[in-house]
Amino acid sequence: MIDSVVGPRLSDESLFTQCLDLSLPCLAEVKACVESRDWAAARKALASVMRAQARPGTYFSIPYEAPENEVMFPGETEAQACERILRHTLISVGVACDYGADHPVDWEANPTYNQYLEWPWQLNRHHEWKMLAHRYRDTKDDRYAFAFAELFASWVHQALVPDNVPGYETLTWRTIECGIRQNTTWPYAYLTFVHHPALTDDLLIDWLKSVWEHGQRLSQHHMDGNWLIMEMNGLAQLCVLYPFFCQTPAWKAQAFQALSEQLDIQLYPEGFQYELTTNYHHVVVRNYERFIFAMRAWGEPVPQDILDKLLPAARFEYKLMMPDGTTPDLNDGRRLPLREIFASRLQVFPEDPILQWVVNPDSTPAPASGLLSMPYAGFMIGRTGWQSDDTFVLMDGGPFGKAHQHEDMLNVLLYAKRKLLLTEGGIYAYDESPMRRYVLSSHAHNTVLVDGKGQNRRRHYDRNAADVHTLSRLVCHETQDGWFGMSRYDEGYGEDCDRSVIHERRLLFVPGPEPYMIVVDRLLSDAPHTYEALWHVDDPQMSRTECLQHFEHLDIAVSSGQMRVVTGQESPQWQGWIAIGQRQGQYRAVPCLINQIQGTSTRSVTVLVPHDSQLPTIHHIEASSDIKETGLLLVWSDGHSCYMNEQDWLVPLSPR
């Protein structure tokens, strides 16, 4: 980093005359030094106050939260990581940079092969500082304290707070990093080392100046969505931990008000955060947890309205929980282990029966299984039960997420036979790679391509018009034949967002001893097209006939079309891959069954049957391609057949 100015930008005179509330009794000696304009004495007096006023309270009784980003080598212990940090070898997004023990860390460096910006951004969250502090608390090894002080000094002198730029700009001062620093890593390090000789008076004053610069940036240049929650969590915590600033009352009021209001703005009535991704839903709830834990530790009341509005979000993911206890990776989502993350939430809401059940399944009765409809968020969930050998199906029939969206309208997932059989591309590193572009596209999801082109809701999406209180297009109810869901996509395909094709999908999940799923697709158009229905199957291929693909644990039969399987294809289009982690290079090939149909308006029926059989379970489907027809006949391999009519599915089962 090349800059003639050494940070922090805030001068002594500005700090003492414009930023501090010198009416506070604890700052009486500082005030006297300021009135005599003795800045050296004022610095010494203020450092003394900071040490005296540090408020650890019961902060360290909060369970230690390991770094959430990939800042360690696989299998590396914290002790090994801290020794590595002492040598100035730092890791971000799983990629190491060895600066050399005798050279300072460059906080804007980027050692990735393609200049992946997440590397410097996530480095500047300072998880290393928290790890050093945690290791010091365990060992009292002074090396860790001095290493922390050296890293802070190098950062605060290099990383100059920007002047009036948007929150998403700069490598070291994006507001998301500002919020994370102030709500996670900096409080832990500060309360660990504030009394240690390594944190000299000069470093303490630089620390406080930088905290004030964080407050100004968070207050004036914050963003929205999940960033805003992290930003306001950081602003609230710095107000309570450093109560010396003139701006503290206004900042605190701003943070508390925003944290309350955003729960009304960001949560669908079902409790799902409006980005509609399991990962960022958890990020939002986790930041409220951090806020609540810190406030309680410091004796600061948590507004009851925040707690009341947070509860539906804190318990929400059980609705999405698959039989293995994890969430599906919707949009930029993750396979989150709910028992683990709900254990933390249970500390916030110890009386909630849902949280109790997920954490301790034997402690309270299980929620009802069966069909679950989310008419606002737009998801249909069907499950035969909560055990590991149960079957789970999900259809996405709802709105485009507020952020981190994939082009996945009408996507279907199927968990059966103890695995996610019908899967999707998942979440991949936020770079510009072909794999990243693939997972964002319809090609990575179980929906339909039109003339080789995917959906393009992103082109005309208006983030500001999104409203969590608007019903989605999903229709979902129980019928005499099973659990039914229906929705449609008409927002355009390809770069030009051609809206001449409408895709309507109907799904019937038939529960019972051997559950299966029927998907009816209607592609509506006045012109001829090539339609390709995609089915990503994480299971070995066995055999295929003209209308049936037999996998080891899943049979897929189609009423019409030409079937082929693509696995690990890169040209002319990426196809048949799933991500297995967020780090660059973490993906693997899986079979993607593609059923191609030529025509104008057409109807296609697909049946998906989980099984343990060595032989196919279904023989074929008889169903007209005429979009006006509604009957279908399933012919099973043992010779019996089953006739169904879609008209029956449209009629909800009468309430019992």
Does residue 304 carry a pLDDT above 90?
A: yes
Does residue 544 carry a pLDDT above 90?
A: yes
What tens digit of pLDDT does each residue of 504-526 get? 999 999 998 999 999 999 999 99
Dihedral sign from CA coordinates of 331, 335, 338, 344: negative
- Concatenate the DSSP letters of all residues of 442-499 into one string: GGGSSSEEETTB-B--GGG--GGG--TTS--S-EEEE-SSSEEEEEEE-S-BTTTTB-
Q: Are 453 and 494 in contact (CB under 8 A)?
A: yes
CATH assignment, 370-649: 2.70.98.70
**How far is 94 from 182, CA to CA, in rounded Å?**
23
Q: How confident is the model at residue 506, as a pLDDT?
A: 98
With 0-12 / 13-18 / 19 or more C-beta atoms within 10 angstroms meaning exposed / middle / buried, residue 68 is: middle
> Which residues contact residue 454 at a Cβ distance below 8 angstroms, ignoring those fewer than 6 apart?
407, 441, 442, 443, 493, 494
What tens digit of pLDDT does each residue of 574-597 get? 999 999 988 899 999 999 999 999
What tens digit of pLDDT does each residue of 251-300 get? 999 999 999 999 999 999 999 999 999 999 999 999 999 999 999 999 99
C-alpha count within 13 angstroms, C-beta hemisphere, residue 113: 4
Q: Same fold for the domain at 12-266 and the one at 370-649? A: no
Does residue 96 carry a pLDDT above 70?
A: yes
**How far is 558 from 280, CA to CA, in rounded Å?**
36
Does residue 2 carry a pLDDT above 50?
A: no
Q: Are 133 and 106 in contact (CB under 8 A)?
A: no
Q: How confident is the model at residue 1, as a pLDDT?
A: 44
Closest CA to 147 of 155, 8, 52, 208: 155
**How far is 396 from 399, CA to CA, in rounded Å?**
9
Q: Which residues of 221-249 are buried (b: 16+ CB within 10 A; e: fewer)?
A: bbbbbbbbbbbbbbbbbbbbbbebbebbe
- Residue 68 pLDDT level (bands cut at 50, 70, 90): confident
Q: Where are the domains of the chain?
A: 12-266, 370-649
Mean of pLDDT over the chain: 96
Does residue 240 carry a pLDDT above 50?
A: yes
Q: Which single residue is written with the structure tokens 């006006």? A: 628
Q: Indicate the pTM of the whole model.
A: 0.95
Q: Which amino acid is at 129?
A: W
Q: Are 203 and 148 in contact (CB under 8 A)?
A: no
Structural element, H or E, at residue 256: helix 248-266
% residues pLDDT > 70 (the chain): 99
Question: Region 611-623: what's the mean pLDDT?
Answer: 95
The rounded Cα 187 to chain-centroid distance in angstroms is 24
What tens digit of pLDDT does each residue of 143-169 get? 999 999 999 999 999 999 999 999 999
Dihedral, CA atoms, 56, 133, 111, 8, nearest 10 degrees? 50
- In the beta sheet, which residues pair with residue 372? 381
Dihedral sign from CA coordinates of 91, 94, 97, 98: positive
Q: Are 457 and 409 in contact (CB under 8 A)?
A: yes
Q: Are strands 641-645 and 419-422 parallel, antiparallel or unpaired?
A: unpaired
- In the beta sheet, which residues pair with residue 326? 337
Q: How confident is the model at residue 464, as a pLDDT?
A: 82
The rounded Cα 277 to chain-centroid distance in angstroms is 5
Question: Region 83-94: what's the mean pLDDT?
Answer: 97
Closest CA to 525 of 492, 558, 496, 561: 492
Q: How confident is the model at residue 5, as a pLDDT?
A: 81
* Domain spanning 12-266: CATH superfamily: Chondroitin AC/alginate lyase (1.50.10.100)
What tens digit of pLDDT does each residue of 393-422 get? 999 999 999 999 999 999 999 999 999 999
- Residue 57 pLDDT level (bands cut at 50, 70, 90): confident
Structural element, H or E, at residue 214: helix 201-221
Q: Are strands 370-374 and 379-383 parallel, antiparallel or unpaired?
A: antiparallel
What are phi and psi for residue 486, nearest 5 degrees?
-150, 140
Does residue 4 carry a pLDDT above 80?
A: no
In the sheet that 483-489 helps form, which strands lie side by side, from edge to edge?
475-478, 483-489, 502-510, 516-524, 602-610, 554-558, 548-551, 541-544
Q: Are 70 and 582 in contact (CB under 8 A)?
A: yes
Structural element, H or E, at residue 45: helix 39-53
Structural element, H or E, at residue 555: strand 554-558
Dihedral sign from CA coordinates of 166, 172, 174, 179: negative
∠ Cα 609 597 479 (to 5°): 40
